[in-house]
Structures are given as structure tokens and as C-alpha cells.
Amino acid sequence: MAPRAYWKGTLKLSLVSCPVMLYPATTAAEKTRFHMINRETGNRLKQQMIDSETGDVVESDQKGRGYELRKGKYVEIEPEELEAVQIESNHTIDIDSFVPRDEIDRRYLNHPYYIAPDGKAAIDAFAVIRDAMKDEERVALAKIVLTNREHIMAIEPLGKGLLGTTLRFDYELRDEDQFFDDIKTPKITKDMVELAGHILHKKASHFDPSKFKDEYENALKALVKRKASGKTIELPEPEERPSNVVSLMDALKQSLKGRGGRKTSAKPHARRATGRQRSVRKTHRSAPRHRKAG
């Protein structure tokens, strides 16, 4: 059973329109979450709003919104005043233009949504818009109002449906120059770059998100399970940082030989390995380790 639609409205391309539904493409439902509790009673705590000057608890009917003009000086904005500037949602995704996919800077991508036709009567028009976009290999740019704010949405075909991704506005993006201007340009030898290139080539692969495991999330679940069953939690010994300093060239050479990373193949040097080294490598070797990207 499909989850409940987050938004319902109309997708419009010029005079062609069809009812659609939006569903969030991501979820955090499986994430482990903790609540604040009272250690003495085991009861959950609830938060209260406190006046920063008097320390008194502020009741809900006393709460308001204020914009800080200068330190400690606020102008209060009434709810009805906020409503006056809110954009009225017409529940329409109105496609304004089509742009080449590679022209959209990935930094602007925000939240992804699945877009599906709403009802059998919408399928034909939906398919026409979707398939036309497939043929052109372009991304549609449209405006949509979500949670009382206007967003720009990039829409592209995805399987039988469409993927709509809200975009950040230009003012929300920081200028990279303020972070990169101070990076010096050192003199790097051609040999170093070629060695690094060989390492990249040996680690070439394909993007497969199923291979990425959230180790911290798994550890949290295991921790909660052990604690709930009454088992003690043993704290790990702090790891010591290696004190030896290795030159950049040596580090590149070691990485290429397989000593700089666990997943790098050590096949070229297997014959010269000692018995103990062969045993260790055999123990940790796995099938995907020697698989080439194809």
C-alpha cells in the first residue's frame, strides 16, 4: 500500500495538465532516535519556553514571533501580518522552462519527491509530459508552493513516474571563493600525479548505494539491544594515532602496493609475502576485492 500523498495538485505544461501527487522520496523513519528522560524516575522530559531575562516559564498564549533588529532589540510580527505575505497556494506545478540536465549545479539540489498521476484519468496526459521529457533529455523547471513558501522544482523522468527535486535559491548558496582562496598551489611532481592516477584506476567502480552501510546506525541498534537485555556495555580503548610521518611520495607508493588501504588488491606482491602475511591476506580476502569495474 502506497504511503499517503504529501501534496496533491496539477502538473501543467502549457495547455496540457493532469492531476498529480507528491511523495517524499526520502525517509528517516528507520533512524534510531533518543528522548530525554529523568534519570531518577525514567519518565520522559518535556521542554518549556523560558524568558531569557526573567527565567520565568512562558505559556503558549504569551509566545510571539520577533525579528532581531540589533542585539536584544526585536520587532514583533503578528500572525495575521505573516499571513499577509504568505503566498497563496494554487496547488499547481506550472512548468516554466526546460534546461539541459548538466547545467544544474548539484549544490542547488535540495529535497527529492516522487511525482505520480492522481487517478486513471490523469495517466494519458502524465505519460505525454513524461515521455516528451525523455526524448528531449532536458529537466523541467517549475514553481510550486510547499508549506507556505514558494520553491523552484526540477522535474525529470524516473521510471514510470517523475522525480521532482526542490532547488535552493541563489542567495542560499555560499560563495566557494571564501573557502578556497587561501588554498596554496604547491609544486607537485608529475610522478606523484601519475601514482595517484594509478590508485584511482585500481579503485575504479560503479555507484551502488546498497554497498554503503550506516555503521553508526547499526552500532546504535546493537547498543540499545544489549542495554535493553541487561548486558553491560564495554567501552573501547581509545585508538592511538600513528606518530610516524610518511612522505607524500612514500604514502602514494605504499597505497599503490596495497599497504595504504584495506580494499586495495595486493596481488602483484603475493609471491613475495611471508607465510604469516599470506595467512592474514587470505583471511581478509573477499570476492569483490579483485572484481574490476565493467
Using CA atoms, how far apart are residues 217 and 214, in angstroms rounded to an integer? 5
pLDDT per position as a tens digit, 143-157: 999 988 899 999 999
Closest CA to 115 of 9, 240, 232: 9
Range from 124-138, 188-202, 228-242 carrying the lowest mean pLDDT: 228-242
Segment of 142-156, 198-212, 214-228 carrying the highest mean pLDDT: 142-156
Q: How many other CB atoms sit within 10 Å of the CB of residue 242?
A: 7
Q: How many other CB atoms sit within 10 Å of the CB of residue 269?
A: 13
Q: Tell me what pLDDT residue 195 has.
A: 86
Burial code of 92-128, b = ≥16 C-beta within 10 A, e = fewer?
bbebeebeeeeebeeebeeebbbbbbbeeebeebbee
Using CA atoms, how far apart are residues 287 and 283, in angstroms rounded to an integer? 12
Using CA atoms, how far apart are residues 259 and 256, in angstroms rounded to an integer? 8
Q: pTM of the entire structure?
A: 0.72
